[in-house]
Amino acid sequence: MEVQDKPPKQRTEVRQAALVEAALLLAAQRSPADITTADLAQAVGISQGAVFKHFASKEAIWLAVLDWVSETLMSRLQTAGEGAEHAALPALRAVFLAHVDFVMSYPGVPRLIFQELQSPGDTALKSRVRALMQRYRQLLLAVLQQAKIQQALRPGVDLQAATVFFLGSVQGLVMQALLADDAQTIAVHAPGVFAILQHGLQCQPTEFQGAP
């Protein structure tokens, strides 16, 4: 039986996905700023001209990368935080470790994000990063609100500050891993870092006695 060619739209989607994957793999090896469309074409096995049949520009490729990152990371974080309604602090830990696992799987992602945040002016890429961080903060606040309802947090804990501390802890781990050029070192320190974070947030057994 003769195999039918994929329709043009499907072929484009397959090529776009392959180029996004190639960009992530190359970004794990070197600075995203140094990655050219020729590099991406070679990684996928197409001509450089063919790249522009699927993306209008190199920026469009990086935007597609960030869109993929946003949807994939948030899906993993939301799954990790699903138990918050019943046990918020364990869910918060699961979110923390899910983010760590994502970074270890895709070390090119923080390289791309940190590089873009350092560039002057406002860009479409920065806008994507801000949108991702806003969704992330909303998820964290929802989990922390559940922890507050469950009286698992110290009285008077600033939930906004707690989200900053949480994100800063993950970013600090990532930065240390980038300096060491070894994303796997994150896994070694992540449980201990979260334990310190949890100790600062968690209500002690006697703290709610007489609390308003």
User: Closest by alpha carbon to 166, among 130, 198, 202?
Assistant: 198
User: Band of the pLDDT at 156, cuts 50, 70, 90?
Assistant: very high
Whether residue 132 has pLDDT greater than 80:
yes
Mean pLDDT (whole number) for 51-75:
96
| The model's pTM | 0.87
Nearest to residue 93, comparing CAs of 163, 173, 194? 194
Q: What is the pLDDT of residue 9?
A: 56
Straight-line distance from the first to the last Cα atom of the chain, in angstroms, rounded to the nearest whole number: 76
Over the Cα atoms of the chain, what is R_g? 21
- Is residue 11 scored above 50 in pLDDT? yes
Topology annotation, domain 60-201: Tetracycline Repressor; domain 2 (1.10.357)
- What are the tens digits of pLDDT across the range 88-131? 999 999 999 999 999 999 999 999 998 888 878 888 999 999 99
**Residue-level pLDDT at 8:** 57
- The residue among 92, 99, 73, 87 whose CA lies nearest residue 195 is 92
Q: Are 116 and 125 in contact (CB under 8 A)?
A: yes
